[in-house]
Chain A
Amino acid sequence: MDARITRADVEHVAHLARLALTDEEIGDLTGQLGTILEHATQVSALDTGEVAPTAHPLPMMNVFRGDDPRPCLDRDEVLTEAPAAEDGRFRVPRILGEAP
């Protein structure tokens, strides 16, 4: 398949990945991702028509535990390490379009 990556592709993916890349970073990545993906398309050379995908190397089922209460992380200790906290919660800039 065509692995050529355009600048517009990189801008689109940067938005999906929530990365505010600089112009220079977008330029560098446009070339680099193209080269890497070209190598990666070697996987397309193999016939995998009848092959099931592997997402995980072990044949494991979900693991359940008893519904028993136990101590969790200390709230104050966790919030001390947060960039901003207020009233026992993480504080963030506005998310919706309400007045600031």
Chain B
Amino acid sequence: MSDTALEVAAAVRAGERKAREVVEEHLGAIETGDGALHAFNHVMADEALAAADKVDAEVASGDVPGTLAGVPVVLKDNLCTRGVPTTCSSRILEGWRPPYTATVVERVVAAGGIPIGKTNLDEFAMGSSTENSAFGATRNPHDPARVPGGSSGGSAAAVAVGFAPLGLGSDTGGSVRQPASLCGVVGVKPTYGVVSRYGLIAFASSLDQIGPFARTVDDAALLLEVIAGNDPMDSTSIASPAPQLRGVLDDGVDGLRIGLVEELTDAEGVQPEVAAAVDDAARGLEKAGATVERISVPSASYGISAYYLIAPAEASSNLARYDGVRYGLRVDGEDAATMNARTRDAGFGPEVKRRIMLGTYALSAGYYDAYYGQAQRVRTLIIRDFNRAYDTFDALISPTSPTTAFELGAKTADPLAMYLSDVCTVPSNLAGHAAMSVPFGKAEDGLPIGVQVLAPALGEPVMFRVANVIEHAAPETAVPA
């Protein structure tokens, strides 16, 4: 099950392989392997086989299906799929079947891709380990005693272990990149506005962005080209066409200027092997003709503090809609207000309640300016500092996650320690910039390490060129047991 999406699609388009066989193989792997891993909330076996037959019929009739012909794709379970349960791994949405489908999923299907299942996540995408799922944790395919990262841990684990060549996740503060790093796959957070969020269940709307998972940089570019581009159904969607990435992938980095972000690489808590991998990636870029220099982005250190005020504030507002009236769970009460409050206490898990409380507090009278207002001003400083760095550099590098995968339960009792897992990833969300994680070898204990490539808004083409060079310079990458 190690074929890339490009290999699968080429074979299906040429009529050498049937999409049905591809899907049956992957469904078989899920059937055998997912009991131990718990990457899925819901496997879409019937829907996937029907979609595969449709692709095969197209090929048989002489049509050429799209660039994802016959390629299984896993979907984070916060992407709406009409008629298919969409839970956000929350009791409050358990059993709910959306009346519409997310734009990204429609684009995948239009390109011949096959949605094969809905993957586990931290409830409402709030977490860095997938342990906050109401339906149980996902395990890291490299070591079942460890977390896959989060919040898109199910998609990351599924792609790493070969349940599908491609996956979709959402990244609000690192929720695609950090699990990609911990599971040894490629994960991308595109520029804010490049990918439509219509049908993505909202967490923090000024930060959320959908992005691809893949086992190679080339495959990630393929999926991003399919899902990117303007969508009138999302008013934050940028009015420019999808970036062309695969055409520039092999352009190399000769003459590019790359900055190594000191605040993110030298930060307290960065594992020495992870920092060493970033240095090795820098050497690889230099060998390919780039210049690499250390660069200070002073306000980057304040990213976590600003993020954990802004994201919960927006979440507390977005999650007000779960009131027991229109969808999901209801716990009855003698009046509507009692019903609302009882439903929300029964339906939300501890982390979601914590964030709603934190956000409501930060927005409440008397505290608004000191917390939320100040965090928004710090956000401006972070954007300015990164833009200044991009005056000199074409792209930046840093660790994706300060550490390799940690053990299940290691941080569940200490919410702040869990939040600090996102230290390297949140600045790109606050700035709305592009960033991605590329696997770069493994630590002594065999766990994968990821290097992050950061680029300015709409800098995806240069980001992918850098990522492609890093991928080829990387030492032997960890393979799941």
- Contact of B374 with A20 in the complex, beta carbons under 8 Å: no
Interface residues on A, range: 35 or more
Given A18-B323, A42-B305, A58-B432, are A51 and B336 also a contact pair (CB < 8 Å)? no
Please, which residues of chain B bring their CB within 8 A of the CB of A92?
325, 336, 339
Please, which residues of chain B bring their CB within 8 A of the CB of A46?
299, 302, 377-378, 381
Least CB distance, B115 to chain A, in whole angstroms: 20
Most chain A beta-carbon contacts within 10 A, residue among B323, B325, B373: B325
Option from A29, A57, A62 in Cβ contact (under 8 Å) with B431: A57
Give Cα A51 to B336, complex, Å: 43
B438: Cβ under 8 A from any A Cβ: no
B403-418 contact mask (Cβ, 8 Å, vs A): 1 or 0:
0000000000001100
- Contact of B380 with A51 in the complex, beta carbons under 8 Å: yes
B376: Cβ under 8 A from any A Cβ: yes
A99: Cβ under 8 A from any B Cβ: no
Given A43-B305, A73-B100, A81-B99, are A1 and B192 also a contact pair (CB < 8 Å)? no
B481: Cβ under 8 A from any A Cβ: no
A11-61: which residues lie under 8 A (CB-CB) from chain B? Answer: 13-14, 16-22, 25, 28-29, 32-33, 35-37, 39-46, 48, 51-58, 60
Name the CB-closest residue of A to B432.
Answer: A57
Interface size, chain B (Cβ < 8 Å): 73
Given A54-B376, A54-B379, are A20 and B341 also a contact pair (CB < 8 Å)? yes
- Contact of A53 with B330 in the complex, beta carbons under 8 Å: no
Option from B328, B360, B431 in Cβ contact (under 8 Å) with A13: B360
Least CB distance, B98 to chain A, in whole angstroms: 8
- Contact of B415 with A77 in the complex, beta carbons under 8 Å: no
Given A55-B206, A78-B99, are A25 and B353 also a contact pair (CB < 8 Å)? yes
Q: Dominant SS at the A interface?
A: loop
- Contact of A62 with B335 in the complex, beta carbons under 8 Å: no
Give the segment of B2-10, B63-71, B232-240, B244-252 that binds chain A.
B232-240
Please, which residues of chain A bring their CB within 8 A of the CB of B348?
19
A8: Cβ under 8 A from any B Cβ: no
Given A62-B235, A77-B99, A83-B330, are A39 and B416 also a contact pair (CB < 8 Å)? yes
Name the CB-closest residue of A to B97.
Answer: A81
B322-378: which residues lie under 8 A (CB-CB) from chain A? Answer: 323-330, 332-342, 344-345, 348, 350, 353-354, 356-358, 360-362, 364, 370-371, 373-378
Most chain A beta-carbon contacts within 10 A, residue among B370, B373, B377, B430: B377
B133: Cβ under 8 A from any A Cβ: no
Please, which residues of chain B bring their CB within 8 A of the CB of A39?
304-305, 308, 416, 419
Option from B238, B305, B324 in Cβ contact (under 8 Å) with A58: B238
Give Cα A53 to B457, complex, Å: 19
Least CB distance, A98 to chain B, in whole angstroms: 10
Give Cα A84 to B327, complex, Å: 9
Give Cα A10 to B341, complex, Å: 15
- Contact of A33 with B354 in the complex, beta carbons under 8 Å: yes
- Contact of B371 with A95 in the complex, beta carbons under 8 Å: no
Least CB distance, A51 to chain B, in whole angstroms: 4
A74: Cβ under 8 A from any B Cβ: yes
B172: Cβ under 8 A from any A Cβ: no
| Interface residues in chain B, defined as those with a beta carbon under 8 Å from any beta carbon in chain A | 96-100, 192-193, 206, 232, 235-236, 238, 299, 302, 304-306, 308-309, 316, 320, 323-330, 332-342, 344-345, 348, 350, 353-354, 356-358, 360-362, 364, 370-371, 373-381, 383, 415-416, 419, 430-433, 457
| Interface residues in chain A, defined as those with a beta carbon under 8 Å from any beta carbon in chain B | 1, 5, 9-10, 13-14, 16-22, 25, 28-29, 32-33, 35-37, 39-46, 48, 51-58, 60, 62-63, 65, 73-74, 77-78, 81-84, 90, 92-95
List 22 A-B pairs, Cβ < 8 Å.
A16-B360, A17-B344, A21-B353, A25-B345, A25-B350, A35-B416, A36-B308, A36-B416, A37-B361, A39-B308, A40-B308, A43-B306, A46-B378, A51-B377, A53-B377, A57-B432, A58-B193, A77-B99, A81-B99, A83-B328, A93-B336, A94-B335
Which A-B residue pairs are the 5 nearest by beta carbons?
A: A57-B432, A53-B376, A83-B330, A48-B377, A20-B341
